[in-house]
Amino acid sequence: MSRKYHKVTLFLPIAYFVIVSIFLIRHGTWLSPDLFFLVALFITLILGRTKQFIHDWSIPILLLLSYDYLRGLAPKLTQAANIYPMINFDKALFGSLPTNSLQSALFSDGLVHWYDYLGTALYMSHFIAPMIIGFIFWLKDKEYFRRFFLALLLLSYAAFFTYVIFPATPPWMAAQQGLIPPVHKVMDQVFVNLPHSINLPSVYKFIGVNLVAAVPSLHAAYPFLILLFLVRKYKAKGLLFLPYMLGVWFSIVYFGEHYVFDIVVGVIYAVVIFSLVINAEKLWQRLMMPFYKINFRYNEKIWNLIRRRI
């Protein structure tokens, strides 16, 4: 009975998050971290775990909001954006730009296809997917939740410093400048066909946008980081997340929001951060081992001197 109850308490909050997210995306908005915190607070009231939730989530959410605020300031700290490294990489790998190839095959001006709606939902779910997965980890394993959120924050801040050092234009911006063939803003066409948008109060209204925060792609890095954590914890079951991740990757290239180059760099960042967080304890022990040996020998000498005096 307790096992069934545990499954229900896990399933219902996740189902609620998913339903709320789908409703918001349908109305052209998303469940940002601050709104997620409020919705999750309501759920934990029902579960009787509000105090623990506030204790465990307050600082991570504040740090994530701080990252988003800094990301909006990044354009003021950067020089001219890089253009050609991403274009040259994609052309060398595929012979042409995947964005142009995909839009040539799939996009219809004035007609919104089902995959345009699905791609938009996947693109916008980028903001809430890490929160939902983090909430699952928190319900089941708080230590694993802490590691996951630490990795998420390290990944975000590593990306921020890269955006300052290496600002990069996305395909749609390069197309507007006439540097690559035309790229259609597919999501703009989707949003026109969605119901009237909902205006929810959020601190994100006061956060600026960095249009040249393309390398690494966090739309690629976040899902891959989630996949790594899910596979580590749930083994083969974690691979059920793979279609979602591939769907997001396909969408960001098809929509002209990222090059394949951006995805590759995002994956590298995710792998490095995941490895550091998972192996942090072992790495720390290896780094500190020489110190422990020296300290042990020093203490042993002192102890031998004391014994002789005695």
Mapping DSSP onto H, E and C, the string for 79-147 reads CCCECHHHHHHHHHHHCCCHHHHHHHHHCECCECCHHHHHHHHHHHHHHCHHHHHHHHHHHHCHHHHHH
What is the mean pLDDT of the segment spanning 229-244?
95
| Angle of CA points 275, 280, 281, to nearest 5° | 140
CA distance readout (Å), 274 to 70, 163, 171: 23, 20, 28
* Backbone dihedral region for residue 32 (phi beyond 0: left; psi -120 to 50: alpha; all else: beta): beta
Could you tell me which residue, 166 or 13, shows the higher pLDDT? Answer: 166
- Per-residue pLDDT of 107-126, as tens digits, reads 988 889 999 999 998 998 88
Place of tokens 């142009």: 100
Q: Quote the strand ranges of the chain, DSSP E.
A: none
Question: How far is residue 231's CA from residue 115's CA, in Å, rounded to a whole number?
Answer: 27
Of the pLDDT bands very low, low, confident and very high (cuts 50, 70, 90), residue 198 is low
- Per-residue pLDDT of 129-176, as tens digits, reads 899 899 989 988 999 999 999 999 999 999 999 998 999 999 999 999
207, exposed or middle or buried, with CB in 10 Å at 0-12, 13-18, 19+? middle
Q: Check pLDDT > 90 for residue 184.
A: yes
What phi and psi values does residue 111 have, to the nearest 5 degrees? Answer: -125, 125
CA distance readout (Å), 294 to 123, 281, 289: 53, 20, 9
- Per-residue pLDDT of 23-56, as tens digits, reads 766 666 666 777 778 788 888 887 788 899 899 9
Beta-carbon neighbour count of residue 138 at 10 Å?
Answer: 22
**DSSP code of residue 45:** H
Question: How far is residue 262's CA from residue 218's CA, in Å, rounded to a whole number?
Answer: 9
pLDDT at 204: 61
Nearest to 10 by CA among 152, 143, 141, 153: 141
Sign of CA dihedral 249, 251, 253, 258: negative
Choose from 34-38, 133-137, 192-196, 267-271 the range with maximum mean pLDDT.
Answer: 267-271
pLDDT at 300: 54
Structural contact between residues 14 and 135, judged by C-beta atoms closer than 8 angstroms: yes
pLDDT at 5: 47
